[in-house]
Amino acid sequence: MNRIFSRLLYVLEKDQDAVLAVIIKEDGSAPRGTGSAMLISEDGHLLGTIGGGAVEKESEETAAKLLKEKVSLKKDFILKPNETDDIGMVCGGDVTVYFQFISAAEKGWRDIAAKIQECYEKKIPAWLILRLDGSLASLADKDGSVLAGSDINDAGCLMAEGCVATEDYFSMALQLGERALIFGGGHCSKALAPLLKTVGFRVTIFDNRPEFVTKEMHPSAEKLICGDYTKLSEYIDFRDDDYIVVMTSGHNFDFQVEEQVLRRPSAYVGVIGSARKTASVNARLRDAGVSEEAIAFVHTPIGTKIKAVTPEEIAVSIAGEMILERALIREKESEETHSCPMH
């Protein structure tokens, strides 16, 4: 999202209009989740993604039309075969996309884009609130006060950890750094969490043992959750840009976590363990109906190959792999080579 609004500010300063396409609702299986966004500028430049395939292609065409008409639009996409609006996708779910037309003549949008940049740079929590009638959006802080854009009454009810959709509004929290979900709060997790924080990840630790999810054990974690490994969605609002690390206290718990997280998109999934343990868990995943593509997506054994042994060395190995995967994703999204002074 940071790169999208950085690009938006650049486009507006060039006096070009743009359209921000955001998934505001998903139902069933969809290639991208709620809050996924894509920016289409007047010069045809595209940044971000809302899922690829027919949805993205049709969204690009819709955005191009709206840029000419200078209006906003809410549109439903049916991602399964049907007789009324079949776009050739078989995901099995539906998504609703809101296309926000952004005029270069509207100074308020420049203020919003610039303030979002400041929030990311200074790590200021904020929420973007879109008005679904096409009028100027709002950017609110954690107290509900408007930082930029139009005024809004009682913004607090629209602010949550993830996204909130009503009949008139859609709000989403700025993701100030990628979220790392670590399942298992043991020694490796204790070493990994502070390391990930230093390189910009927001760490959540989940364990079914209360003594392993305390602030004393994990002072660097943003969030600590003690819960049931078989019911993850009751505790976590998963996003498709999450980085997931699985290092629970047992093979069965690893399987329970993987079986759930591999049924939806994510940026990264890494699982600790030996090749023998991996083969055993993968066999169970196949029996549970998890696709080969999803299983192949998993980084296991987790981490870069540095012959790590101690929890601290293993943490460095995992962090290195996550930094690389994050850089590759950023490179793909921005269509620019990710700079590195070492190579």
24-38 pLDDT, tens digit per residue, is: 998 865 666 788 899
pLDDT at 253: 96
Distance, in Å, from the CA atom of 110 to the CA atom of 124, rounded to the nearest integer, reads 18
pLDDT band at 86 (very low <50, low <70, confident <90, very high): very low
321 vs 29, higher pLDDT: 321
- Count other C-beta atoms under 10 Å from residue 69's C-beta: 9
Give strand ranges (E) for the chain: 18-27, 37-41, 46-48, 73-78, 94-102, 126-131, 138-141, 146-149, 163-165, 169-173, 179-183, 202-207, 223-226, 243-246, 268-271
pLDDT at 89: 46
Distances (CA, A) of 287 to 28, 252, 275, 292: 22, 14, 19, 11
User: What tens digit of pLDDT does each residue of 155-209 get?
Assistant: 778 887 778 999 999 999 887 778 999 999 999 999 999 999 999 899 999 999 9
Distances (CA, A) of 225 to 205, 221, 257: 6, 10, 14
Give yes or no for residue 335 having a pLDDT over 60.
Answer: no
> What is the average per-residue pLDDT within 105-115?
95
Give yes or no for residue 249 having a pLDDT over 80.
Answer: yes
> What is the average per-residue pLDDT within 278-292?
94
Start-to-end C-alpha separation, the chain? 27
pLDDT at 274: 87
50 vs 335, higher pLDDT: 50
pLDDT at 83: 46
> What is the average per-residue pLDDT within 117-138?
92
pLDDT at 94: 83
pLDDT at 46: 82
pLDDT at 340: 52
CATH class for the domain made up of 179-334: alpha beta
pLDDT at 343: 46
pLDDT at 92: 55
Give yes or no for residue 138 having a pLDDT over 70.
Answer: yes
- Domain residue ranges in the chain: 2-173, 179-334
pLDDT at 29: 59
| Pairing, β 243-246 against β 268-271 | parallel
DSSP assigned state of 132: T
Distance, in Å, from the CA atom of 67 to the CA atom of 103, rounded to the nearest integer, reads 9
> What is the average per-residue pLDDT within 110-118?
94
Does the pTM of the predicted model rise above 0.85? no
60 vs 90, higher pLDDT: 60
pLDDT at 82: 44
pLDDT band at 227 (very low <50, low <70, confident <90, very high): very high
- State the residue for tokens 């099995």: 92
What percent of the chain lies above the pLDDT cut of 90? 65
**301 preceded by cis ω (within 30°)?**
yes
pLDDT at 228: 97
299 vs 3, higher pLDDT: 299
Distances (CA, A) of 34 to 144, 235, 240: 22, 17, 9
Handedness of CA 99, 104, 107, 111 (dihedral sign): positive
> What is the average per-residue pLDDT within 145-160?
86
pLDDT at 298: 96
DSSP lists the bridge partners of residue 155 as: none
